[in-house]
Amino acid sequence: MLQVNRPRRLRRSPAMRRLVSETTLTVDDLIYPMFVMEGENTRVEVSSMPGCYRYTLDLLLAEIAEVYALGINAIALFPVVPNAKKDDKGTESYNPEGLIQQTVRAIKQAVPDILVITDVALDPFTTHGHDGLVDENGIIVNDPTVEVLVKMSLSQAIAGADMVAPSDMMDGRIGAIRDALDAHGFEDVAILAYSAKYASAYYGPFRDALESAPKSGDKKTYQMDPANTRESLKEVYLDIAEGADIIMVKPALAYLDIIAKVKDATDLPVAAYNVSGEYAMIKAADERGWIDGKKVMLETLTSMKRAGADIILTYFAKEVAQILKKH
């Protein structure tokens, strides 16, 4: 008698499906990006990112305590810098009394066990909105930028950051930052490298949140061409050789193939950034009743895990943690 193969046997009930599930999304996989601004007792929703807020430090600390209680173990900090503190050199980025430095110290005192990850890039701090220094010809200059990024990283480590995350895509910055951290006694401060960061159109809402869009030109001379695959592996191998502890692909959803290739190419943890545009599209469609936002959110994040991401930075982190806690 011909035996009929019946894969549906393993789909017949929720318990059976859970038993044979190949990919599991947990709260331990998530890093929660958060925006901090100056002032007191103020929370401002980002209009293009419903449910995401800019917090003053006092309210940020309360929010961090809440998300830590939900099981979120790591946050990534991004500063909203007043225009009066911006200049063309990004000097505020390494001010020991700057917004990020003060915020890190306060978090480590209030919630000492949460991992604090700090962004290393100049765009929130510069009047021109680029991740690097710009010369008189409008060229983003590499090596002088790296010198500032090193100062920025050291100031964040001194403040108490557990991990620095260079997102600028300047050549050689991972090695320079690693050397400087080690030379100053911060051997235990990890580096999360934005290794394959693409010049993507998905970043718009994030730039709204930080008011950090470039005032002229674009970022295509330092962020990667979305058409390229092999280049991502070259960047990953360079960052590993220079001392990165975790490597990242950004964005995530349109680059699942890159995540998979990077995962196959390295034994280091692989992070993916579920960026603001990906978040905003799901929220907008959910608000219009076109999709079930929660189900699409979980399916999207699971696809990133399935592609090979060990870690996901996502603005959905709190929402996911609340759902998983109920179950």
Q: Does residue 11 lie in a domain region?
A: no
43-45 and 115-120 strand pairing: unpaired
Name the CA dihedral angle for 51, 57, 58, 61, rounded to a multiple of 10 degrees: 70
Q: Does residue 80 lie in a domain region?
A: yes
What is the CATH number for 189?
A: 3.20.20.70
Q: What is the pLDDT of residues 156-213, one digit of tens each?
A: 999 999 999 999 999 999 999 999 999 999 999 999 999 999 999 999 887 777 666 6
Q: What is the pLDDT of residues 260-294, one digit of tens each?
A: 999 999 999 999 999 999 999 999 999 999 999 99
Would you give the distance in Å from CA 81 to the centre of its chain? 18
| Residue carrying structure tokens 């590993």 | 240
What percentage of the chain has pLDDT greater than the value 90? 85
Strand partners, 311: 271
Would you give the distance in Å from CA 146 to the centre of its chain? 20
Please state, rounded to an integer, the average pLDDT across all residues of the chain.
94
Q: Does residue 90 lie in a domain region?
A: yes
Q: Where are the alpha helices (DSSP H) in the chain?
A: 14-19, 57-69, 99-110, 142-159, 173-183, 204-210, 230-242, 256-265, 276-287, 293-307, 317-326
Q: What is the pLDDT of residues 79-114, one digit of tens each?
A: 999 989 999 999 999 999 999 999 999 999 999 999
Q: Does residue 64 lie in a domain region?
A: yes
Task: Name the token pair of 14.
Answer: 């929720």
Q: Does residue 5 lie in a domain region?
A: no
| Residues annotated catalytic, as ranges | 197, 250
Q: How far apart are CA 128 and CA 131, in angstroms?
A: 9
pLDDT at residue 129, as a whole number: 82
Domain of 282, in residue numbers:
23-326
Q: What are the C-alpha distances in Å from 308 to residues 118, 134, 202, 244?
A: 24, 36, 21, 18
Closest CA to 160 of 120, 99, 118, 193: 118
- Name all contacts of 284-288 with Cβ < 8 Å and 24+ positions apart: 284/50, 287/50
Q: Does residue 4 lie in a domain region?
A: no
Q: Does residue 18 lie in a domain region?
A: no
Per the structure, how many domains does the chain have?
1
Q: Does residue 240 lie in a domain region?
A: yes
Q: How far apart are CA 194 and CA 16, in angstroms?
A: 38
What DSSP string describes 242-268? HT-SEEEEES-GGGHHHHHHHHHH-SS
Q: How far apart are CA 11 and CA 14, in angstroms?
A: 7
Closest CA to 45 of 275, 280, 250, 212: 280
